[in-house]
Structure formats: C-alpha cells, structure tokens
Amino acid sequence: MPKVLSSNIGYPRLGEQREWKKALEAFWNNKISEAEFLQTMKDLRLAHLSKQSKAGIDLIPVGDFSYYDQVLDTAVTFGLVPERFGYTGGEVSLQQYFDIARGTDNATAGEMTKWFNTNYHYIVPELGGITPQLTENRPLRLYLEAKTELGIETKPVVIGPYTFLKLSKGYEASEFKHWLDQLAPLYIEILQGLNKAGVRWVQMDEPSLALEVSTEEWQWVQDIYAQFNQATPDVNLLVQTYFEGVDDFGKLIDLPVQGIGLDFVHGLEQNLNNLDDWGFPENKILGVGLVDGRNIWRSKLEDKIELIQTISQTVPADRLLIQPSCSLQHVPVTTNSETSLDPIIKDALAFADQKLEELALLTKAANIGASAVQEALDRSREAVERIAHSSWRAPQEQHLQQDEGSATRNVPFAQRQVIHAEKWKLPLLPTTTIGSFPQTVEVRRARQLWRKGELSPADYNRFIEEQIQDWISIQEELKLDVLVHGEFERTDMVEFFGEQLDGFTFTRFGWVQSYGSRCVKPPVIYGNVHFVKPMTVTETKYAQSLTTKPVKGMLTGPVTILNWSFVRDDIPRSKVSYQIARAISDEILALEAAGIEMIQVDEPALREGLPLKRSKWQEYLDWAVGSFRLSTAAVQETTQIHTHMCYSEFHDIIDAIKDMDADVISIETSRSHGELISSFEVHGYDKGIGLGVYDIHSPRVPAKEEMVQLIERALRVLDPKLFWINPDCGLKTRAHPETVAALKLMVEAADDIRQKLGQEVSAGKL
C-alpha cells in the first residue's frame, strides 16, 4: 500500500561539537594536512547521513554538506571562478576554493551577502567574462559515496538554475536567458550522470520562485525544466521552494517535474489558499514543509496533523512528503547536550535532530493514525503548554502599548549637527572603527577561565582593563579621531546583551553557521524582556577615563537582537522588538548619565529581517524603525547617536533608514566594491555617514590606494562634512598585526583626502 514518506531538505554541517569549524580552522592554520581535513569532513558527512537514516527519514539529502558555502560549491562546479584567482580550467582545487571565499594578498574575496532573509551568508557568484563548464559531477560523487560507504539511497540536492542566477552578479538583466541557456546543458550533464547511477529523486532548490518572477522568466523556467525532464525522464525532480508562499502558483505546479515542495510554515496562509484555488496536479508529489526549519521551538503536533488532513483533501496522502519548511542548517544540531537549561525551556525546544523526530512522528501518524503515536503527541503537547502557561510569558501591559513606534528625537538632525560640531570639534572626515578589536586566544582563554570559576571576577576585570588600556593607546598612536573600548568582555554582540536581560536564556552547544567558519550561538528569547542593570557602563567609562578623545558607547540595537535570536513564537515579533527597545533605551540613558554622549546602536540585521515579499515590507519597517527610535529618542540633543548596518540593497530601504534619524550611520560596503555608492547618486543622504573602506572578513590588508579610491568615489555624491572613515565591520575576528596595519593605512588615506580637500577649498573648488 502506498504510504506518506518523510523527507529532509538539508542538515546542519557543523557537527554536535562544531567539529566542522575546528577542522576548517585547523586546516587554514596548517595544523592538519589536506588529507586529514578531507577525511574529517568525510567522516562528518557520513555521520550526518547515518543519523538521518536512523531517525527514519525516507528521503535523505546529499550535497547539502559543504566545506564553506553551498552557493560557492555550485559556482565552482560550473567553473565560475573570477579571473583574479588565476583559474585556468578543470576541477577547482581546494586552495582556489578557499581563495575565492577568503581572498588572497593579491585578490579580494568574493562578495558575501545574506541568504535571503536569514543570518546565513553566501559567496556571490561572479559571472562576467566567464564561460561555464562542468568541472565535476559533485552531486553524483556524494550520492555514490553515501551508497557505497553506508548503503543509503539519498536524494541529491542542487541549487536550481533560476535561483543560482538570481543569487549571482556580473551580468545584465538582458543576459539572464543567455546564462540560463549556457547552464542548461551543464545541469543536464549532472542529471544524466545521476540517472545512470539510479538516482530516484533530485531536489532542485528554487526558493527564488517564491519571490517576484516575471511572466517571461516563468516561461524560461518552464523551458529549462522541460529540457531536464526530456533529457532524464527516469529522474524525479522535486522543485523545492521555501521561506514564503508562491504568488504564481499555477505556473509553479505546471512545471514539467515530478514534485513541488512548499513552505507551510512561513508561507502557510498563501500556500493553503493556493491549494484551494488551484488544486494540485494528479501526477505530482507535494513536499509539505510542516516543521519550522528556522526556529527552535517544538511543533504543535496536533495542529500539524490537522494540517496534513486538510491538505490531503486536495492531495491524497500517498502523494505527500512530510518535510521541514526549509533546510535545517539554520538551527543547532541537538538538544541532547543541553544539560544546563531550565527543564521547562529545554523540553520546549526542538533542534535539528528533534525536528527529524517530529518529521518521523508526523509521517507515522499520517500513515497509521494519530492514536498509534498518542503517547508521544501527549508528551509534546504538555511540553508546549508548560512554557506557554509559565510566568515568564504572562501578558505585560506596559509592553503592549499601541504607540510604541512613535518615539522621536526632541531636536531635528540639522540642529543637532550644529550642536555636535561645536561639542566634538572633530576634523573633516573623522576616523573611527565599528566597535570590536581582535578577540585573541588570551582574551578567549581568560573569559573561559572566569566562566569556569578558575579566574576571580577581580582578576578578570583587571585583565579586561589591561586590554582596553592597550587598545586605547594603540588607537591614539594610530591617530583615530573617535575611539572604542574594544568589547573584550563580550563573546558576541547579541549574546552579551541577552545574558544580562530578563527573558533570554543560552544554550551551550546551540551553534549555527553565519559564514565560513564563523559560528554564532543565538540567544533564546523565551519570555518577556526586561532591563535589569547597566550592562556596558563600567568598561566604556573606564576607556573614556584614559583619553581626552571621545569613546563611543557600543550597543546592539533591538531589531538585530531580535533577528539574531531564536524568538518566542507565541506573540508577534514586533511586540518582542519593542520590549528589547525599552531595555536598550534604559542602557543608553545609563551611559549618558555616566558621561558617554556618543553612543552607537548597531542594527546590522535590520535589512535582513525585511520580508521577502514587498507587500509585507511596510509593516515590518514601521515597527523595526519604530523600535530603533524607541531605543534612542530619549537622549539629550547633545548626545550623538551612531548606528551600523550591513550592506544589502540599501536603496530598497533608504527612506526607512533616514527615518531612523541616527546622527551617523556606517555601512558595510567594501566587498561590493563601492556599488552601494550608486544608490546615493539617485537617493542622496543628508545625515552623517561612513562607508566601510576595507573588508574585515578577509585577512588581507588592502593598499592605501584602494581605500583612497573608495573614499573619492563616495565623496562625488556625499557631503564631505557628513562623511566618516571606518572599516566595514567590527574587527573581532582579525589578528592584531593585520588590524593595526590596516587601520594605519586607513588613517593615512583619510589624511591624504583631507589634504586634497583642503587644497580644493583653497582653490575655491569646494
């Protein structure tokens, strides 16, 4: 009798104890050989497949595991290596692969940007001037490895051609069809190899099909999948969408493929309506994304079973795949090692392994009835109810006000600018950094010893003060104009604040990949958020006592704390954001009372939280901008508010960024080679602004001339009196020598431009 099958879309690559990250960094630091690195990665890859098989998953993905990034994997599979890396064809070496990701002394790394609206970063493929070629059939190699080594029949995962091109750059919009035509035979070659090996299902990830797709583009997608189907009729293709509902549902289900995957978590309402309106083809399988792949709370399994029953009225149960809403790479691996969490909180959590259990349970319920798994369903329901009814989540009327987003500064920017110029007396093009300085082995070790109780609080505080003192001296020697204390007491820009606010808790091993080997351990917001006591005043005040130059207070903004946390799912995200905003406002006022009147409230994640559908943007921006203003509006007019944002299509939200009403904004832009500057040619910007003049994600120290060129390009469209000079982001991940060398060149670049501007003023040109 045909039955419902379970399917996974993707699994975290990190390992339970971050074995993946450790192997990667050991290889980069020449502590293990390439052979040792490859063997470690193979062992992890196979262990992850075995785990999914033991969990009872029927269709297990292969090809989702990567040495760095799945988009980069696709690019090198097609030989799309930028010319600056000296690639001459054939299989891309491991060294070349990492060169693209990290850069070299002579070649800048590939641009990095967010994977849709997640906190995962991918390397943007560069297509210009390159003829694609198939360098290896990577999905086939990994499929055969799983079959040979483990005897597991897997489902190869490939980023589909439409989404791959949408994520790429280096071509004109008019060339899109040309690139599809170039890639089509390469995809066919991959699929034909899989067909010969006996592969049953191939997952073609096409999340971009859930966004805005033109009628012409839909026809191109239809044509290319028709080519795939004709060339490999024995391979079942599952076109997988996620992160949103699909607007052009009729066109999606008309594609000549054997399966369609839909997100019934983040696209629930729209996709259900789509099924009601359009039905579903009788000759296709529906992948039902039921379990949330982006958050860490248990599913309400009875609701999911009811949803399966609803969907099965349109699509018979024997044509359903029970899946997560997206790849599980966005959640930690397992709760099994979390021995320190409150039992009520831990029992309410579901990381990747627990989500596999939920998938297997839902599949079993769909096949033989909920009564057969009633005991497990009861345990899950009780866990959800215990936290829902806890005092942690009791309604807080003061946090449910309707006017939370209406806060504004008392004095407009034009007046504040005059006040600040008189107060700070900074030079033209003031130089500063984004906040953090290198977190050395010594810094991490001291923190670890302190957390273990092996270093007394007094000794730890003295150590932190020594670090602050050293870097205040270094900054003064470098002649930076506005200093920072370095954030040596902080593990992570979100975790640090979450540890000191009510409503947050932390896991020990809840790591997720952000980019490359950079992992983050997002806080868990399980209840109402409250300010407890000042969090940053001691270190910032100490740093300011060491210098006559201004020292910025450094805070993380409410929207970034929200977007980089796992957030409770029982109230709207906007309400949680406003709770955090009130807590950050209390901290800002504490800094101001301590004499710190230049305060940076970072919002690097504001843009990434933007919904993928433009129709939903305004609602999000209203409460996101409102949260920032609620944080900062209560300060005196003499206090200068800075913020920092990461670059990503800045022009899309420039009006909202202006509405934030920060006195100075710094923006990550060096990896895009100044492309952002063109936005200002159209939109302009009339507040203080600093565009990152060098890339901190790469160990490469840029030449001074590169920074000068970026500054000069920006000053063609931005007012020099409002322009600041700074690196792209914080310098936490960089080594001491390269940090000092790069900042020295940055200050010299600023001096060169100042001299040139001074000459132009004398000549009457400015």
Render pLDDT for 36-80 as a digit per residue (tens, 0 to 9).
999 999 999 999 999 999 999 999 999 999 999 999 999 999 999
Tell me yes or no: is domain 413-762 CATH 3.20.20.210: yes
Close Cβ partners of 678 (under 8 Å, ≥ 6 residues apart): none
**Amino acid identity, position 717:** V
Query: Mean pLDDT score of the chain, rounded to an integer?
Result: 93
* 165, HSE (Cβ side, Cα atoms, 13 Å): 23
| Torsion sign (Cα): 665, 668, 673, 675 | negative
pLDDT tens per residue across span 477-492: 999 999 999 999 998 8
Percent of the chain at pLDDT > 90 equals: 85
Q: Is 485 annotated as a binding residue?
A: no
Q: Please say if the pLDDT value at position 765 is more than 60.
A: no
pLDDT digits (tens, 9 = 90+) for 90-132: 999 999 999 999 999 899 999 998 899 898 999 999 998 899 9
User: Quick check: 460 pLDDT over 90?
Assistant: yes
Let me know if 268 is exposed, middle or buried by CB neighbors in 10 A (0-12, 13-18, 19+): middle
CB 682 within 8 A of CB 657: no
Instruction: Give the pLDDT of residue 526.
Output: 97
208 assigned ligand-binding residue? no
Residues known to be catalytic: 697
Predicted pLDDT of residue 720 = 94
- Per-residue confidence at 759, pLDDT binned at 50, 70, 90? low
**Does the pLDDT value for residue 398 go beyond 70?**
no
Task: Identify which has the larger pLDDT, 761 or 689.
Answer: 689
pLDDT for 678 beyond 80: no
* Contact partners, residue 384, CB within 8 Å, separation at least 6: 297, 298, 300, 348
> Is residue 218 marked as binding?
no
Q: Is the dihedral of CA 530, 607, 8, 146 positive or negative?
A: negative
Cα 752 to its chain centre, rounded Å, is 36
* pTM above threshold 0.85: yes
Give pLDDT tens digits for 538-553: 999 999 999 999 999 9
Output the DSSP codes for 538-577: HHHHHHHHT-SS-B-EEEE-HHHHHHTSEEPSSS-HHHHH
Q: What's the rounded Cα separation, in Å, for the pair 406 and 203?
A: 46
Q: Do 717 and 685 touch, CB atoms closer than 8 A?
A: no
Q: Is the pLDDT of residue 148 over 70?
A: yes
Residue ranges per structural domain of the chain: 413-762
Residues 6+ apart with CB under 8 A from 170: 125, 126, 127, 128, 129, 130
700 is in an annotated binding site: no
Instruction: Report the side by side order of strands in the sheet with 566-567.
Output: 502-505, 524-530, 566-567
User: What is the SS3 assignment for 332?
Assistant: coil
Tell whether the model's pLDDT for residue 197 goes beyond 50. yes
Which candidate, 656, 648, 637, 567, places its Cα nearest to that of 605? 648
In the chain, the amino acid numbered 715 is L
pLDDT for 760? 61
Give tens-digit pLDDT for 607-641.
888 899 999 999 999 999 999 999 999 999 999 99
In the predicted model, what is the mean pLDDT of residues 173-199?
Answer: 97
503 is in an annotated binding site: no
CB 110 within 8 A of CB 96: no
The structure tokens 């700070």 sit at 424
pLDDT band for 684, please (50, 70, 90 cuts): confident
To the question of whether residue 748 is assigned a binding role by annotation, the answer is no
**pLDDT tens digits for range 557-608:** 999 999 999 999 999 999 999 999 999 999 999 999 999 999 999 998 888 8
Question: CB–CB of 546/531 below 8 Å?
Answer: no
Q: Which of 198, 187, 193 lies closest to 153, judged by CA?
A: 198
Residue with tokens 């796992």: 566
What is the pLDDT, as a whole number, of residue 568?
Answer: 96
Q: Is 659 annotated as a binding residue?
A: yes
Q: Classify 515 as helix, strand or coil.
A: strand
pLDDT at 1: 44
Are 515 and 697 contacting, i.e. CB atoms less than 8 angstroms apart?
yes
Q: Where are the alpha helices (DSSP H) in 6-157?
A: 19-28, 34-54, 70-77, 94-102, 138-150
The H or E element spanning position 123 is strand 121-123
- Give residue 119's pLDDT: 87
Share of the chain above pLDDT 70, in %: 96
Among candidates 527, 490, 531, 483, which has minimal Cα distance to 505? 527
For residue 169, the cross-strand partners are 126
pLDDT at residue 330, as a whole number: 97
519 labelled binding-site residue? yes
Is 518 one of the annotated binding-site residues?
yes
DSSP 248-285: -HHHHHTSSSSEEEEESSTTHHHHHHHHHHH---TT-E
Torsion of CA 143, 146, 152, 158, to 10 degrees: -30
pLDDT in the model for residue 370: 93
What's the whole-number mean pLDDT along residues 675-704?
A: 80
Q: Is 751 annotated as a binding residue?
A: no
Alpha carbon of 478 to those of 436, 469, 709: distances in Å? 16, 14, 21
- Residue 671 pLDDT: 55
Q: Whole-angstrom Cα distance, residue 319 to residue 289? A: 14
Contact in structure between 255 and 214 (CB atoms under 8 Å):
no
- Better pLDDT: 517 or 2: 517
pLDDT of residue 400: 46
- The confidence score (pLDDT) of residue 399 equals 47
732 is annotated as contributing to ligand binding: no
Is the pLDDT reported for residue 695 higher than 90?
A: no
Q: Which helix (H) or strand (E) holds 465?
A: helix 457-478
Confirm whether residue 564 is marked as ligand binding.
yes
Beta bridge partners of 201: 236
CA-based nearest residue to 160, from 219, 237, 236, 215: 237
Whole-number pLDDT of residue 668: 80
